[in-house]
Structure 1
Amino acid sequence: MLGKWLDTKFSNGGKLFLIIGTLLGVAISLYVVLQQLKKFNN
């Protein structure tokens, strides 16, 4: 949602911000899961 808004506000029709936001969300989710697994194994 934020990526789409940023694309319409600052970009010339591309989907750069949408892609960056998606990749950032996946990276943060992966980090959180790995941290939880680390706590679970201890």
Structure 2
Amino acid sequence: MKRIGRLEELAKAAAFLLSDDSSYITGQNLLMDGGMVRVI
């Protein structure tokens, strides 16, 4: 992607983590960097 994320994209990820849909997720780091870590 190699771009800065849009606020809406970040908000959707945060909303998911706050929702009951993520109740089975524990102790994870959610990288939302558009794949930039792989470039470095």
TM range (shorter): 0.3 to 0.5
Which structure shows the bigger proportion of residues in helix conformation?
1
| RCO comparison, higher one (Cα < 8 Å, 6+) | 2
* Structure-1-length-normalised TM-score: 0.35
